[in-house]
Amino acid sequence: MDYIHLNDLEFYGFHGALPEETKLGQIFRVTITLACDLKRAGETDNLEETVNYAEVFELCKEIVEGRPYLLIEAVAEKIASSILHTYAAKVSGCRIQLVKPNPPIVGHYASVAVDITRGTL
């Protein structure tokens, strides 16, 4: 199995269970791993034989910067299901890590995150 990694994509969204999160918004970081066969793309040097990661970036951006969700779990699930639906012929599975660097939690921490895997990696 081969993989495409999109690392630390950064977007501004309005997700969260607290009113200030949906009003003020915050930065979200997303890392995506796509399981796919890259052999033909490597042999032909043809973009049509692979998954265009610029398109995946835009799909992710539309979700994270789109309608607000209460839970980052829901945002990650929407990203995963959209990727698997859009690229069903090329992607057998995906892993989504969604990081919320500055949630309104009192205390010292680097971030909070969810990490989900859908399909076969």
| Active site positions, annotated | 100
DSSP string, 38-61: -HHHHHH--GGGS--HHHHHHHHH
* Exposure of 9 in the CB half-sphere (CA atoms within 13 A): 25
Task: State residue 22 phi and psi, 5-degree precision.
Answer: -80, -15
Element housing 21 (H / E):
helix 19-24
Distance, in Å, from the CA atom of 28 to the CA atom of 66, rounded to the nearest integer, reads 12
